[in-house]
């Protein structure tokens, strides 16, 4: 799908006839998921090849770098990752000495995650690469469109959270 071209069905697959004209490739949630997966895959090459970090590990590391000390639950909420992904990523980062895990003083069952010096060093080397890739992606769509996209995604995320909250309230009623 280069230069904005639409994906064509594979050879031998004919489009279904009938009243249903739904096209997955035109469905915005699908477009967002595909774009996010492709960008994540591209970005992961920056930190996977050199630093051996997976996407979930990078997200955990970046979240801890931002907030200094954080619970795994908070990491999951901030990154929209499920508990299992956060737990596996955190365990791997602890085993590699990039983060440390300690008991939460306010919750006997809880844990707190923080960065080690080694983790901070890797994080500080990955960030410029991540920013350079982001700039390359922005150049591909133009600065004004990049800014508009960023604002639209922020509004969409906020709206989705509101819709989710309303659905949860309806389910409890």
Q: Which domains does the chain have, with CATH numbers?
A: 25-142 (1.10.10.10)
pLDDT of 115: 97
Average pLDDT over residues 148-173: 86
What is the 8-class DSSP label of residue 71? -
pLDDT of 170: 74
Confidence at 9, pLDDT banded by 50, 70, 90: low
Q: Give the DSSP H or E segment for 145.
A: helix 143-172
pLDDT of 149: 94
Q: Please tell me the pTM assigned to this model.
A: 0.77
Tokens coding 79: 């990154």
**Measured distance CA(114)–CA(171) in Å, rounded:** 36
Mean pLDDT of the chain: 87
What does the angle CA 55 – CA 61 – CA 66 come to, to the nearest 5 degrees? 125
pLDDT in tens, 108-125: 788 999 999 999 999 999
pLDDT in tens, 26-47: 899 999 999 999 998 888 887 8
Confidence at 168, pLDDT banded by 50, 70, 90: confident
**Measured distance CA(153)–CA(158) in Å, rounded:** 8
In this model, does residue 14 exceed pLDDT 70? no
Residue with the larger pLDDT of the pair 115 and 169: 115
């Amino acid at each position: 799908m280069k230069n904005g071209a639409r994906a064509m069905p594979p050879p031998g697959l004919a489009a279904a006839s009938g009243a249903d004209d739904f096209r997955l490739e035109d469905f915005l949630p699908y477009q967002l998921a595909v774009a996010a997966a492709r960008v994540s895959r591209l970005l992961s090459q920056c930190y996977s090849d050199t630093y051996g970090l997976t996407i979930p590990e990078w997200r955990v590391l970046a979240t801890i770098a931002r907030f200094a000390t954080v619970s795994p639950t908070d990491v999951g909420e901030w990154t929209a990752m499920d508990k299992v992904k956060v737990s596996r990523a955190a365990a791997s980062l602890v085993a590699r000495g990039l983060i440390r895990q300690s008991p939460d003083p306010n919750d006997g069952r809880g844990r707190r995650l923080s960065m080690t010096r080694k983790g901070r060093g890797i994080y500080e080397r990955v960030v410029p690469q991540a920013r350079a890739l982001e700039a390359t992606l922005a150049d591909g769509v133009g600065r004004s469109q990049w800014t508009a996209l960023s604002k639209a995604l922020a509004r969409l995320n906020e709206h989705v959270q509101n819709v989710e909250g309303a659905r949860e309230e309806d389910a409890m009623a």
